[in-house]
Amino acid sequence: MTSVSVRDLSLSFGAVTVLDKLNLDIDHGEFLVLLGSSGCGKSTLLNCIAGLLDVTDGQIIIHDRNVTWEEPKDRGIGMVFQSYALYPQMSVEKNLSFGLQVARVPQAEIDKRVKRAAEILQIQPLLKRKPSELSGGQRQRVAIGRALVRDVDVFLFDEPLSNLDAKLRSELRVEIKRLHQSLKNTMIYVTHDQIEALTLADRIAVMKSGVIQQLADPMTIYNAPENLFVAGFIGSPSMNFFRGEVEAKEGRSFVRVDGTAFDVTAYPASVPLKPGQKVVLGVRPEHVKVDEARTDEPAHQATVDIEEPMGADNLLWLTLAGQPMSVRIAGKRRYPPGSSVRLSFDMGVASIFDAASENRL
Ligand SMILES: Nc1ncnc2c1ncn2[C@@H]1O[C@H](COP(=O)(O)OP(=O)(O)OP(=O)(O)O)[C@@H](O)[C@H]1O
């Protein structure tokens, strides 16, 4: 069942069109992440759904109700911002209950909801404190609590973890996931952080210049990016790209890059690769094997430029076919700079894009 439906949504600021006939359906109970770099329009889309921005054209439907021109408070949504937006002079308890008091919810019901939200978010000991007496993570918990007490079906999050340090960010990320698993309401979450997107989302909408580039579950986005932009945006370090030309020889297919021919016969292309076609071969760092190729397997000789041991993983930076690339191997396998290695590629899980259209083949 659809919870939120965005239909042909357009929004312009003066002469600048940020969203142009955008369509998006979000299922009931789904955790949808809007992911993209700064300025791609993800906050603008969220603010349109929230009712904080007037749309230029199109419709926002929430639970089968056209709310395009309704006030934010009447849309049945709760919103959590990056900046917390707490009332500094009020206690945590008052911050949680204030909106309900304004909406004339009976006091007994308010007490019940505040108690429940405080329990879920484990902020009971903080209820009497002022926001200035809280850490960033605690403030964001209160901000989430304020959305929670509204008892709404749809939560909107705008980069809620961006102001927190890395450790708190990962802790609160798990809590938001736990919250979604227990409440099962619809969540729409804006971020530019791919780890948040991959770990939290049921589906990710990757945006660029106001256009959704791919809408799919995290593993599909990671393993089968629809175009070069999505492939380069997701993954750290980035997917390795080799620009070259398709060649066919003795029943096998190759991508030739300068003097190097990559055997891509195992690549499961949706349409046959055409000899002479200009393509971009993409291989994730963990899909390259080091010194593991059988003697009959195609392999490439390279020299390690830089080694970045990261504990569980070891990241090697090398040069192949005249360009830098990264390879991720197990942390315990060490290759100091200058080491000579034999690289073999797992082409069954590679990506090949048409160089002109930049779409996946
Ligand atoms: N009030 C405004 N007037 C004019 N242009 C605006 C206004 N608000 C946003 N924009 C422009 O709209 C585009 C999308 O902005 P938006 O805030 O949605 O991006 P974003 O993807 O959320 O980026 P960020 O992560 O930096 O917040 C940007 O190019 C921005 O400059």
Is the model more confident about 88 or about 342?
Answer: 342
Averaged pLDDT for residues 141-148: 86
Burial of 316 (0-12, 13-18, 19+ CB in 10 A): buried
pLDDT > 70: what percent of the chain? 100
CB distance 191 to ligand 1 below 6 Å: no
Cα of 211 to ligand 1 centre, how many Å? 13
pLDDT at 164 over 90: no
CB distance 54 to ligand 1 below 6 Å: no
Q: State how far the Cα of 155 lies from the Cα of 132, in Å rounded to an integer.
A: 25
Nearest CA to ligand 1 atom 20: 39
Q: State how far the Cα of 163 lies from the Cα of 138, in Å rounded to an integer.
A: 12
Mutate to test the pocket of ligand 1, among 6, 43, 208 (most ligand atoms within 8 A of CB): 43
Q: 35: part of which helix (H) or strand (E)?
A: strand 31-35
The CA distances from residue 60 to 44, 91, 168, 188, in Å, are 13, 35, 34, 14
Mutate to test the pocket of ligand 1, among 9, 22, 37, 42 (most ligand atoms within 8 A of CB): 42
Q: Are 306 and 317 in contact (CB under 8 A)?
A: yes
Long-range contacts, stretch 122-126, CB < 8 angstroms, 24+ apart:
123/92, 126/92
pLDDT at 135 over 90: no
This complex has an ipTM of 0.93
CB distance 36 to ligand 1 below 6 Å: yes
Q: State how far the Cα of 326 lies from the Cα of 330, in Å rounded to an integer.
A: 13
The pLDDT tens digits for 174-205 are: 888 988 998 899 999 999 999 999 999 999 99
In whole numbers, what is the pLDDT of the chain averaged over residues? 92
Shortest-distance atom of ligand 1 to CA 40: 21
Averaged pLDDT for residues 81-94: 84
Q: Residue 29: what pLDDT? A: 95
Nearest CA to ligand 1 atom 5: 13
Helix, strand, coil percent values for the chain (each to nearest 5): 30, 35, 35
Cβ neighbours of residue 210 closer than 8 Å, sequence gap 6 or more: 17, 18, 19, 20, 22, 40, 41, 44
Nearest CA to ligand 1 atom 25: 38
Ramachandran region, residue 119 (left: φ > 0; alpha: ψ -120 to 50; beta: rest) = alpha
CATH of domain 240-354: 2.40.50.140
Averaged pLDDT for residues 152-160: 90
CATH topology (fold) of 2-233? Rossmann fold (3.40.50)
The pLDDT tens digits for 199-256 are: 999 999 999 999 999 999 999 999 999 999 999 999 999 999 999 999 999 989 999 9
Q: Give the residue from 155, 152, 52, 48 showing the smallest Cα distance to 103.
A: 152
**Reported confidence tier of residue 80, pLDDT bands at 50, 70, 90:** confident
Centroid of chain to Cα 317: 25
Highest mean pLDDT pick, 107-116, 129-138, 227-236: 227-236
The CA distances from residue 260 to 10, 129, 305, 323, 333, in Å, are 46, 65, 19, 11, 26
The pLDDT tens digits for 261-318 are: 999 999 998 888 999 999 999 999 999 999 988 877 888 999 999 999 999 999 999 9
Shortest-distance atom of ligand 1 to CA 207: 21
Burial of 236 (0-12, 13-18, 19+ CB in 10 A): exposed
Flag the least confident range among 9-18, 61-70, 174-183: 174-183
pLDDT at 83 over 80: no
Averaged pLDDT for residues 135-148: 85
Domain spans of the chain, in order of start: 2-233, 240-354
The 8-class DSSP code of residue 3 comes to E
